[in-house]
Amino acid sequence: MMKNDTVIDAHNISKIYNPETIPVFAVNDVHLHLNRGEFTALVGPSGSGKTTLLNLIGGLDRPDTGNILINNIDITKLSANKLITFRLNHIGFVFQSFNLIPVLTARENVEMIMHLQKSQRMDRDTRIKQLFEEVQLSDKIDSRPSQLSGGQQQRVAVARALASKPQFVLADEPTANLDSKSASNLLDIMAKLNTEEHITFLFSTHDQRVIDRARRVITLVDGKIVSDTLPTSTA
Amino acid sequence: MWLVRLAWLNLWRNKSRTLISMAAVFFAVVLSIVLSAITVGAFDNMIKNLVSYYTGYIQVHRAGYWDEQTLENSFRRSTSMEDSMMNVNSVSGITPRLESFSLAASGDVTKGVMVVGVNPKTENQATMLENKLVAGNYLNETGNEVLLCEGLAERLKLSLNDTLILIGQGYHGATAAGRYQVKGIVHFGSPDLNDRMLFMSLNTAQQLYSAEDMITSYVFVLQEHSDLDETAEQIRHLLSNHYEVMTWGDIMPEVKQHMESEIVTDRMFLVILDILVGLGIFGTLLMMMVERSFELGMLMAIGMKKSKMIFLLVSESVFTVMGGCIIGILASIPILYYLKINPIRFSGELAKAYERFGFEAVLPASTEPENFIWQGLVVLCIGLTLALYPVWKVIKMDPVSSMKR
């Protein structure tokens, strides 16, 4: 059984653009609670505030109101510099367009995170080996991004997101640029990591394949949560 | 260390951009080194020309002589004074002179001339007078013989071995008159000097002007022009206030001013060049920041601190600018050595203008190491100063707006 402890606890969070002219509520009084081991999809039409909400939860942006507690730390109160360190150590990011550093090999892209964490060489080597096995890319470890397919690059991006042993992974439309086979393969890997390693994933997505695999689906419209199908039984 | 490696690898992800930046720095360094070397070389050559033509680097006179150049303002030659002045570090030679104005006559032609009594040996060391001979022989220590400047010889219609009459006023109002044989004819680049100068031995001049042991000036030769002001100051300290110590710039202020205005013009050109290069480098930095905005935002998102990003970007700038500088310095070495051996020569009106001032119409290049280092450093500083732009952008950067496509 998975231990049901809280990873994300967001209260009354709002993000308002143009507050002094024509206010636009990108995120409007949202409450969100995520437990460890969840595999959650954040869905909604374009402009519904999915990416903004992910940015707020990921500490990339600050809400105009509300608090976001991650592991009981209110990230809205952290200074910009502390927030960067917090992101490094607690949150993994997977972006839509992979965003690997083109001049580094797959291994170096992942290792960069551990360099930032000042990990020891031996720890890095062990962790990298393990991560590349998990994303099934051990044979591509020394390839540069240009030598990898889109799906393989996104799997390297997942390995990079996991390199710091984060509390959870935020993935912004991770399958949007992938063909069905690569998307399915990626989802298999992420689902396996979720099941076996209890890694928490929160996706923003339009992709029905992702929605079908999620155990909890949160729907956002005009910045408000309009539905939240709670987790089914543990994976 | 991994960040330095990443910076190095980043340079080659957009080879064209890196090579354009390096080329801008390279051409700036080469152009500024060559231009500066020619300026410094030309400046040094002008000074050498000037001092070797006549003035020397420094002159010592009796106080007030320069304002009233008469024999009454001459002074007694002193071996002990010469010895103490020779002991000043950068002084490599001293030569005494007795100078006065007289009327020269030959046949039915007369002309006012400047008679310069010199020690043939030390004068030659100071001003290479013998090298200026175009006909005849050089002076001896004694004898009623003179060297005439070419222009003056033409005016007086004199040639070698002809006789010249000099009439003038000697020391303490004595009459000065004598007949002299033309032993040699010398050519001076300056038309002014070339039309009025006449040289004889110091002994002969002292006899002509009834000024035994008297001289009007000591002329100094220095090892380095850069020691000029310091040496002049040291000599002033050695001498009492009965003497005046003048540098070549004090003696010929109009020439010094002309040279300084040329240096200012060249420096302005260098500044314009540096601005153009700076704009070139800035353009590539601007392009780089736009191209990599998303990536930098992503790096910040995944946990790279701004200080590390700044280190990364500054390292990239240092590699680019240093690379361009080093290659530029290396490339300019053979160019400057070639220009030193084969200096640019002026012709036509420009050459005449130079010669009118008594300068050789050439632009030799200086190969002093500090020129390479200094110009390289200037361009390096420009490059590194411009690297503050990405630093400023990173300081202001936030991941969300940087990752907006």
The pLDDT-based confidence of B49 (bands split at 50, 70, 90) is: confident
The distance of A132 to chain B (nearest Cα, Å) reads 19
For the ranges A190-194, B52-56, B199-203, B288-292, the one whose mean pLDDT is highest = B199-203
Residue A16's alpha-carbon distances to A65, A79, A103, A110, A226, in angstroms, are: 9, 21, 38, 35, 18
The pLDDT tens digits along chain A (235 residues) read 334 588 999 999 999 988 788 888 899 999 999 999 999 999 999 889 999 999 999 999 999 999 999 988 999 999 998 999 999 999 999 988 878 999 999 999 999 999 999 999 999 999 999 999 988 899 999 999 999 999 999 999 999 998 988 889 999 988 888 888 888 888 988 888 888 888 899 999 988 888 888 999 999 999 999 999 865 544 4
**pLDDT above 80: residue B214:** yes
Short-list B216, B118, B100, B71, CA closest to B167: B100
Number of Cβ atoms within 10 Å of the Cβ of A21:
7
Measure the CA–CA gap between A141 and A119, rounded to whole angstroms. 19
SS3 B211: coil
pTM equals: 0.72
Identity at A200, one-letter amino acid code: T
Q: Name the β-bridge partners of A24.
A: A17
Short-list B376, B377, B397, B373, CA closest to B312: B397
Alpha carbons within 13 A on the beta-carbon side of A51: 15
pLDDT reported for residue A31:
94
B348-400 residue pLDDT tens: 888 877 776 667 778 888 888 888 888 888 888 888 888 888 899 899 888 88
Q: Of the candidates A81, A93, A103, which has its C-beta nearest B301's C-beta?
A: A93
pLDDT reported for residue B40:
82
Measure the CA–CA gap between B43 and B39, rounded to whole angstroms. 6
Contact A95 B10 (CB under 8 A): no
Structure tokens at A178: 């992938």
The distance of A103 to chain B (nearest Cα, Å) reads 6
Write out the residues of chain B at the interface with chain A, using a CB-CB cutoff of 8 A.
Answer: 2, 6, 9-10, 12-13, 294-295, 298, 300-306, 308, 398-400, 403
Q: Which residues of A touch B6 (CB under 8 A)?
A: 101, 103-104, 112
The pLDDT-based confidence of B22 (bands split at 50, 70, 90) is: confident
Q: Nearest-CA residue of chain B relative to A157?
A: B302
Q: Which residues of A touch B14 (CB under 8 A)?
A: none
Contact A116 B301 (CB under 8 A): no
Residue B1's alpha-carbon distances to A88, A135, A160, B297, in angstroms, are: 19, 28, 20, 22
pLDDT reported for residue B189:
73
Number of Cβ atoms within 10 Å of the Cβ of B280:
18
Q: Nearest-CA residue of chain B relative to A84?
A: B303
CB contact A144 to B (< 8 Å): no
Identity at B70, one-letter amino acid code: T
Q: Which residues of B touch A60 (CB under 8 A)?
A: 301, 398-400
pLDDT reported for residue A231:
53
pLDDT reported for residue B405:
61
Scan residues 160-189 of A and list those with Cβ closer than 8 Å to B. Answer: 160-161, 164
- In chain B, what is the straight-line distance between the N-terminal and C-terminal CA atoms, in Å? 31
Q: Nearest-CA residue of chain A relative to B303?
A: A88
pLDDT reported for residue A233:
46
B286-323 residue pLDDT tens: 888 888 888 899 999 999 999 999 999 989 888 988 89
Contact A84 B400 (CB under 8 A): no
Q: Name the β-bridge partners of B145.
A: B181
Residue B325's alpha-carbon distances to B13, B171, B319, B328, B386, in angstroms, are: 21, 63, 10, 5, 15
Q: Which residues of A touch B303 (CB under 8 A)?
A: 84-85, 87-89, 113, 116-117, 164
Q: Nearest-CA residue of chain B relative to A170?
A: B302
Residue B340's alpha-carbon distances to B37, B40, B344, in angstroms, are: 9, 12, 9
The distance of B295 to chain A (nearest Cα, Å) reads 7
* Higher-scoring residue by pLDDT: B14, B59: B59
Measure the CA–CA gap between A95 and B337, rounded to whole angstroms. 57
Contact at 8 Å (CB) between B327 and B376?
Answer: no
Q: Nearest-CA residue of chain A relative to B10?
A: A103
Interface test with A, best of B17, B295, B302 (most A CBs within 10 A): B302
B201 Cβ contact partners less than 8 Å away, ≥ 6 residues apart:
B117, B118, B119, B120, B139, B140, B141, B142, B143, B145
Structure tokens at B326: 């080093």
Measure the CA–CA gap between B320 and B2, rounded to whole angstroms. 18
* Higher-scoring residue by pLDDT: B279, B95: B95
pLDDT reported for residue B47:
79
Contact A87 B303 (CB under 8 A): yes
Contact A95 B6 (CB under 8 A): no
**pLDDT above 80: residue B157:** yes
CB contact A93 to B (< 8 Å): yes
Tell me the mean pLDDT in the region B12-24. 85
Structure tokens at A42: 């954040």
- The rounded percent of chain B whose pLDDT value lies above 70 is 99
Q: Of the candidates B303, B306, B400, which has its C-beta nearest A113's C-beta?
A: B303
Torsion over CA of B52, B54, B59 and B61, rounded to 10 degrees? 160
Tell me the mean pLDDT in the region B169-173. 90
The pLDDT-based confidence of B89 (bands split at 50, 70, 90) is: confident
* Higher-scoring residue by pLDDT: A160, B46: A160
In degrees and rounded to multiples of 5, residue B258 shows phi and psi of: -60, -45
pLDDT reported for residue B139:
93
| Sign of the dihedral through C-alpha A95, A96, A101, A107 | positive
B228-248 residue pLDDT tens: 899 999 999 999 889 999 999
pLDDT reported for residue B367:
83
